[in-house]
Chains A and B, each alone.
Chain A
Amino acid sequence: MNDKNPSGASYPELLTVSPSPHIRHSDTTRSVMTDVIIALVPALIWGVICFGPRAALVVILSVASCVLAEYVFEKITHRKVTIGDCSAAVTGLLLGLSLSSSVPYYMPVVGGVFAIVVAKQLFGGIGKNFMNPALAARVFLFAWPSEMNKFVKPFSRLSLFASGADVDTVATATPLVSLKTGALPDVSMTELILGEVGGCIGEVSVVLLLLGAAYLLCRRVISWHIPVSYIGVVALLTVLFPRNADTGSFVLSQLFSGGLVIGAFFMATDYSTSPITNKGKLIFGALCGALTVLIRYFGGYPEGVSFAILIANSLVYYIDRVTLPRVFGKGGAANG
């Protein structure tokens, strides 16, 4: 703020006239993104402990290709380079965490470039993309469905140069494959919650993901609306329509398997691809939950979180339209 007006005379600050916003907050894109990274680190560390150095390399490749793709694209198109705000790094981290540790190394690279260039920058860059870039890239990577659906046993550490044949010897069915057929997974509930199961690098440890989510909630980076309505609707639908006689175990297994926790807390809550109002967020979360259960029950793939969130992403515009708050002093019941 200037304490001198253009003519040079000095006035007290009381008379400053400026356009809004008047109240500034210390949050920046960078601080928000750094919080998200901090919240994901425990799950990442667990993924590396569980799946070995290959998991670390997959995540590093994914992050590096996202950041590099953002830098190169913005240089080529003469836009402001935004790699400093860490958003590309978060996209890369989320993408890497949602891949299996056994994927060939070109997949995180192709995915990273797709996430940044196609899903984010072609729509105008940060804040203008209508789909979560990490999830869009993950779904694009189903171009290689057999690699995407191959998961290795926990603690069967693949070497960095493991071939496809090596992967096959340690491949395992994820809990979701059992759940698809209505059977309970062959792991105990403790193993499921701690993350001693086959799955994507970052999705297995429910406890550590919840720890990260608690951090984000405390820091008010995310609000409770989307995760609670998302997970709540999944719980409700699986309680109402269980596929196993042991309803309690079945419902808990559904909640703690696959990408539901990381999806609900870290992906569905992405600012640019979720509704603005709290009512909208609740509707959005419920939609994600219903779609996830539908795909898990009737879809072609065992997991439905990525597809569900992307479909809900594409409806955010309509949810925002429906939940638009009434402008003060306009419309209302009295005016009919």
Chain B
Amino acid sequence: MKKNGFLASLKNGVFDNNPTLVQLLGMCPTLAVTTSLTNAVGMGAAATAVLICSNMIISLCRKFIPRQVRIAAYIVIISGFVTAVELLMKAFFFDLYGALGLFIPLIVVNCIILARAEAFASKNPVLPSIFDGLSMGLGFTFALCLIAFFRELLGAGTLFGFPVLGSWYNPAIIFILPSGAFLTLGFIIAGVQKIRNTRQEKARSAQNDREEETA
């Protein structure tokens, strides 16, 4: 692996190919658990842990898993780690476990994890797969926190449960309801697309300039 391979992979996972905001994967937990920053961090951490471990094992087993049954094999591996994470969470972070509830077991069918298994871990060596899992997981966590930041701030006037907006603010509870999840997600995706488009245009015009200079 190249020296700056990790940084490139991190940038790819968090910004350029953010699993939630650019690839639009894993919408179900994204919309459901982002009512507070605490939940977002918890969900992101759980998914990242599963993603790193499953990517590692799938990458190790990539030569032995027959193509025809690969999805089933991935699911078995992923669900093993999800069960482990679920039990650990129940033991050490019971409040968080209560808040996330059903969405912890549902990590098994999270598209981000399956997508990385299929698209990356099954074709790449162990170390890059682990890095890929980590950067995609961080990208997912980043997206969840971004959405949860706005939803918790506007919908409850708090961040991580601490009141930050003061008593003058009358919380717009639509933002912690499902409709607020769709609104916030829509605006954030629109913003991300806008930034990406401007960047691509800039890159294109810079390339054109360079070509003109050489010509």
Q: A241 contacts the other chain (Cβ, under 8 Å)?
A: no
Query: Which stretch in B86-94, B112-120, B121-129, B168-176 binds the other chain?
Result: B168-176
Give the distance in Å from the alpha carbon of A104 to the alpha carbon of B171 in the complex: 13
CB distance from B152 to the nearest CB of A (A): 14
Residue pair A104, B174 in contact (C-beta under 8 Å)? no
What residue in chain B is nearest A110 (Cβ atoms)? B172
Residues of B69-116 at the interface with A, using a CB-CB cut-off of 8 Å, are none
CB distance from A79 to the nearest CB of B (A): 16
Mask, B160-178, CB within 8 Å of A = 1, is 0000000000101111000
Give the distance in Å from the alpha carbon of A144 to the alpha carbon of B173 in the complex: 6
What residue in chain A is nearest B170 (Cβ atoms)? A144
Chain A residue contacts of B174, Cβ below 8 A: 140, 142-143
Q: A248 contacts the other chain (Cβ, under 8 Å)?
A: no
Give the distance in Å from the alpha carbon of A140 to the alpha carbon of B180 in the complex: 9
Q: A84 contacts the other chain (Cβ, under 8 Å)?
A: no
Chain B residue contacts of A182, Cβ below 8 A: none
Give the distance in Å from the alpha carbon of A104 to the alpha carbon of B175 in the complex: 19
Q: A299 contacts the other chain (Cβ, under 8 Å)?
A: no
The majority secondary structure among interface residues of chain B is helix
Chain A residue contacts of B180, Cβ below 8 A: 143
Q: A145 contacts the other chain (Cβ, under 8 Å)?
A: yes
Give the distance in Å from the alpha carbon of A198 to the alpha carbon of B172 in the complex: 24
Give the distance in Å from the alpha carbon of A143 to the alpha carbon of B177 in the complex: 9
Residues of B138-178 at the interface with A, using a CB-CB cut-off of 8 Å, are 170, 172-175
Give the distance in Å from the alpha carbon of A143 to the alpha carbon of B180 in the complex: 9
Give the distance in Å from the alpha carbon of A145 to the alpha carbon of B170 in the complex: 11
Mask, A112-152, CB within 8 Å of B = 1, is 00000000000000000000000000001011110100000
Chain A residue contacts of B170, Cβ below 8 A: 104, 144, 147
CB distance from A64 to the nearest CB of B (A): 21
Chain B residue contacts of A142, Cβ below 8 A: 174
What residue in chain B is nearest A106 (Cβ atoms)? B170
Interface size class of A (residues with CB under 8 A): under 10
What residue in chain A is nearest B174 (Cβ atoms)? A143
Give the distance in Å from the alpha carbon of A143 to the alpha carbon of B175 in the complex: 7
Give the distance in Å from the alpha carbon of A63 to the alpha carbon of B105 in the complex: 49
Chain A residue contacts of B175, Cβ below 8 A: 143
Give the distance in Å from the alpha carbon of A49 to the alpha carbon of B77 in the complex: 70
Give the distance in Å from the alpha carbon of A237 to the alpha carbon of B14 in the complex: 54
CB distance from A31 to the nearest CB of B (A): 35
CB distance from B23 to the nearest CB of A (A): 23
What residue in chain B is nearest A140 (Cβ atoms)? B174
Mask, B164-200, CB within 8 Å of A = 1, is 0000001011110000100000000000000000000
Mask, B56-74, CB within 8 Å of A = 1, is 0000000000000000000
Most buried by B among A140, A142, A143: A143
CB distance from B200 to the nearest CB of A (A): 20
Give the distance in Å from the alpha carbon of A142 to the alpha carbon of B170 in the complex: 13
Residues of B11-46 at the interface with A, using a CB-CB cut-off of 8 Å, are none
Give the distance in Å from the alpha carbon of A217 to the alpha carbon of B170 in the complex: 42
Chain B residue contacts of A140, Cβ below 8 A: 174
Give the distance in Å from the alpha carbon of A305 to the alpha carbon of B175 in the complex: 23
Give the distance in Å from the alpha carbon of A145 to the alpha carbon of B180 in the complex: 14
CB distance from A213 to the nearest CB of B (A): 31
Give the distance in Å from the alpha carbon of A147 to the alpha carbon of B175 in the complex: 16
Give the distance in Å from the alpha carbon of A104 to the alpha carbon of B174 in the complex: 17
CB distance from B64 to the nearest CB of A (A): 50
Give the distance in Å from the alpha carbon of A145 to the alpha carbon of B177 in the complex: 12
Chain B residue contacts of A143, Cβ below 8 A: 172-175, 180
Chain A residue contacts of B173, Cβ below 8 A: 143-145
CB distance from B53 to the nearest CB of A (A): 40
Chain B residue contacts of A145, Cβ below 8 A: 173
Give the distance in Å from the alpha carbon of A145 to the alpha carbon of B175 in the complex: 12
CB distance from A238 to the nearest CB of B (A): 29
Give the distance in Å from the alpha carbon of A123 to the alpha carbon of B69 in the complex: 45
CB distance from A152 to the nearest CB of B (A): 19
CB distance from A32 to the nearest CB of B (A): 31
CB distance from A228 to the nearest CB of B (A): 32
Cross-chain pairs A/B with CB under 8 angstroms, 13 sampled: A104-B170, A140-B174, A142-B174, A143-B172, A143-B173, A143-B174, A143-B175, A143-B180, A144-B170, A144-B172, A144-B173, A145-B173, A147-B170
- Besides A140-B174, A147-B170, 11 other CB < 8 A contacts? A104-B170, A142-B174, A143-B172, A143-B173, A143-B174, A143-B175, A143-B180, A144-B170, A144-B172, A144-B173, A145-B173
The 3 closest A-B pairs by CB, nearest first: A143-B174, A143-B172, A143-B173
